[in-house]
Structure 1
Amino acid sequence: MGRLVPAVTRAFDILELFLEGDGTLSAPEVTRKLQLPRTTVHELLTTLAARSYLAPVPEQPGRYRLGVRPYQLGSRYAEQLDLAAEGQRVAREVAETCDETVHVAILEGTDVIYIAKVDSTHAVRMVSAAGRRLPAHCTAVGKMLLASLPAPELDARVTHRELAAMTPASVTDPDALRAELAAIRERGVAAEHRESNPDVSCVAAPVRDSAGRVVAALSISVPMIRWNEERETELSELALKGAGDLSARLGHRGPR
């Protein structure tokens, strides 16, 4: 590994300060926060401003905010992101932690489509495949995604529609589904028990993009022979962490 260049490191340290607070900083504030010489800070700020990484705040002399260049770089990065590829990477990390089957899914109409999947190494495990489509109301990922919809969109997908059952445990009553989705919004995590597969339970958490929109959900599926309340709590926390990690890869800046 090559040697880090101190001046470049300091420049990035300055840029990262703008991720916090109100997004503006003065030279004295940067000096205090990073414990750098005043001359060094002024030279770095001048250079970053000259390259459009920072810009003076017109109504606040002596203060800086992020310039247009970080936005341009971020937009180019976002263009190169592949939700399925990033989802597969995170799903693999989560599966390595819990050794259960992990999915990342998106919502299409009233169905979910698995776009990434990593299998458990256990002999007894959930059998599925990337690309598979299932009714959203029967799955933890689907319920998480439905719960994240604005009310008008949810109404359009649920009202006056038959909710088909995949197992005897599937929720088929629209009012019961709405009540469950409200509880999911409150908890921030979804679960289903034997609703899509009589031998499997799942938990799921939301994946957000850079604008904070829920664009996918990450789930962990477990055969009932390895399922209990303690395991559900443990895996719910892991699903939230995995979904947070994937959200961060997509540019979301909220809490993980």
Structure 2
Amino acid sequence: MGRLVPAVTRALDVLELFLDGPDTWSAPEITRRLGLPRTTAHELVTTLVARNYLTPLPDQPGRYRLGVRAYQLGSRYAEQLDLAAEGQDVARRVAADCEETVHVALLEGTDVIYVAKVDSTQAVRMVSAAGRRLPAHCTAVGKMLLACLPDGVRQERIPADAELTALTGQSVTDPAALHRELAAIRERGTAVEERESNPDVACVAAPVRDAQDTVVAALSISVPMVRWSEERRAELSGLALSGAAELSRRLGSRRQR
């Protein structure tokens, strides 16, 4: 790997101040925050303004906001993102760590659709396929996605008189019980299901966020019951959270930076 260029690093440090801080900065504020010599900070700001990465505020002399060039780069990056492709790559990495089946799924109405999947390398494993559709309330990914919906939307999709399909004898079919579970999932940040979609499988799931920090997908790890335990649940929950955070970061989530 080649040597890092200090001037480029400092220029990027200036731009990255806008990721999680105020919408506008002055040169003195940049100088103090980054610990730069005053002359260096002014030169960096002048260069970024000249290249349209920063723009002066017309009504606040000496203050700057992100310029159109930064927006163009971000838009170009967003255009080339492919949730299925990125999800497949992250799922592959998570599966290599846990040796279990990993899925990435989207919510459509009250169903989940699996858009990425990597199989376990173990002899006893879950059998599934990308593109499969299942009732959301019977799966860990689906519960995670339902739990993250705005309250009004969630109530509309699962009203008090909803008839919930049972895939196994363990499936939740009472809307009130489901809403209580979804509230616990929102509090906990992960979802778990045991034998609710398949009598021989348990799953854990975590939310995936996009550049607007909206939950757009969920990543799950599926485990045959013969390898399931409370210790394994805790371990896999951590791996699911880590994988979901990595996929969120790739999708531009500011929360994961």
TM-score by length of 2: 0.93
Q: Which amino acid aligns with 1:146?
A: L
Equivalent residue number for residue 182 of structure 1: 183
**TM superposition shift of 1:2:** 4.6
State which drifts further: 66-75 or 28-37.
28-37
| Distance in 1 of aligned mates of 2:108 and 2:28 | 51
Partner secondary structure for residue 61 of structure 1: strand
| Distance in 1 of aligned mates of 2:145 and 2:20 | 29
Equivalent residue number for residue 9 of structure 2: 9
Q: Which amino acid aligns with 2:234?
A: T
**TM superposition shift of 1:162:** 1.7
| Distance in 2 of aligned mates of 1:59 and 1:29 | 18
**TM superposition shift of 1:212:** 1.5
How many residues matched? 256
| Distance in 1 of aligned mates of 2:44 and 2:91 | 40
Equivalent residue number for residue 86 of structure 2: 86
Q: How does 1:54-133 map to 2 (within 5 A)?
A: 54-133=54-133
**TM superposition shift of 1:37:** 3.3
Q: Deviations over 1:32-72 (max 9, x none)?
A: 44444332322221010111111223444323222221112
**TM superposition shift of 1:150:** 1.7
Q: For structure 2, which runs of at least 5 residues remain unmatched after alignment?
A: none
Partner secondary structure for residue 205 of structure 2: strand
Equivalent residue number for residue 192 of structure 1: 193
State which drifts further: 147-156 or 97-106.
147-156
**TM superposition shift of 1:110:** 1.5
| Distance in 2 of aligned mates of 1:217 and 1:231 | 19
| Distance in 2 of aligned mates of 1:58 and 1:232 | 55
**TM superposition shift of 1:3:** 4.6
Equivalent residue number for residue 166 of structure 1: 167
Q: Which amino acid aligns with 1:202?
A: C
State which drifts further: 71-80 or 21-30.
21-30
Partner secondary structure for residue 210 of structure 1: coil
| Distance in 1 of aligned mates of 2:227 and 2:139 | 18
| Distance in 1 of aligned mates of 2:59 and 2:144 | 44
Q: For structure 1, which runs of at least 5 residues remain unmatched after alignment?
A: none
Equivalent residue number for residue 224 of structure 2: 223
| Distance in 1 of aligned mates of 2:165 and 2:139 | 12
RMSD: 1.7
| Distance in 2 of aligned mates of 1:18 and 1:199 | 48
Kept after mapping to 1: 8 A contact 2:104/2:114: yes
| Distance in 1 of aligned mates of 2:9 and 2:148 | 39
Q: Which amino acid aligns with 2:38?
A: R
TM-score by length of 1: 0.93
| Distance in 2 of aligned mates of 1:205 and 1:35 | 38
| Distance in 2 of aligned mates of 1:75 and 1:61 | 28
Change (3 A) 1:99 1:165: same
Q: Which amino acid aligns with 2:217?
A: A
Q: Percent identity?
A: 75
| Distance in 2 of aligned mates of 1:65 and 1:86 | 31
| Distance in 2 of aligned mates of 1:182 and 1:4 | 47
Q: Which amino acid aligns with 1:54?
A: L
Q: Deviations over 1:11-41 (max 9, x none)?
A: 2122122223223333233334444433232
Q: Which amino acid aligns with 1:72?
A: Q
**TM superposition shift of 1:137:** 0.6
Q: Which amino acid aligns with 1:86?
A: E
Change (3 A) 1:158 1:98: same
Partner secondary structure for residue 233 of structure 2: helix
| Distance in 2 of aligned mates of 1:41 and 1:224 | 59
